Amino acid sequence: MSGTEQVLAPPPRAANWPGWPAGRPFFGSSDWVWALAFVVPYILVLLAFVLVPLGYGLWMGGSPTLYAVLWSDPIYARTLVNTLIFVGLAVNVKMILALLLSGFFMRRRRWIKGLLVVFMLPWVMSAIPAFISFHWMLVSEQGFINSFLRQVVGIEGPLWLSNPRLALGANVVAYIWKWLPFWTLVFLAARMAIPPDIYEAAQVDGAGGLRRFADITLPLIANVFFIATLLSVIWTVGDFTIVFLVSGGGPFHLTEVVATLANRYWFDYGQPDLGVAAAISMLPLLIPIAVVLMRRVQARGVQL
């Protein structure tokens, strides 16, 4: 036997493997029954709780007259501006702080590890009691912050939730306080996945901390940062809990966002189709952001 034939010849054990009987189906009847028993419930759940509500919502908000009514409402125009400010400011500040704090928590010291546990508490807490607490700390002159300023510092604090700018700022602060620990932990995990040999080699070459951050850390976790930003934007646009519980959309609907306005259209004003249309109106904003960030991720050749 030549060398080529020896290479191409199957191993003895492989050559003796029994073939599948001719005419016998790959799946027996009992196999199909078990496969359907596991797959059909998931398909039914997907239809009942995802596809049918999504299709029904698109049908409810499909009339062009609904969007004409939205644009004629002055509250809706102000709500769009508030949504852009709230999402743009809160998400970007949160992501930058999370990226910087993840570097701080990378240090190998016991007290820093203990501080990380305390730092995670806002994210672990239930959202509704936390945001209600924010509301009661800021409401009127008898709130905790104004009482503290008056009794301890000796000054009168502003009416936080009666000023549109302060109320919107309170929403942003509450949002960052709640979600900053989660994204810090995500970036911390991304940093820990970078091999330490890379940092050691850069340090031997004389690269300082800022240089290592710019040349090693940022390029290697850039994809994680962009994906996290995309998810954060999508979740923030659809979240009405923070604004609804902290500022209540006040004063006089001046801090409403699209999610809270859609909720009011549906439940307070009895116009569910208009509420669905308000939610759908954010798609022209979300789709370009998703496309740009995903292209940015695909264009980067350096990743973990």
Q: Take residue 2 and report the two structure tokens written for it.
A: 């030549």
258-278 pLDDT, tens per residue? 999 999 998 888 888 898 898
162, with CB counted inside 10 A (0-12, 13-18, 19+), is: middle
Per-residue pLDDT at 67 exceeds 70: yes
Please check the confidence at residue 14 and state whether its pLDDT lies above 50. no
Q: Please give the Cα distance from 101 to 178 (Å, whole number).
A: 15
pLDDT at position 28 over 80: no
What pLDDT is stored for residue 168 in this prediction?
94
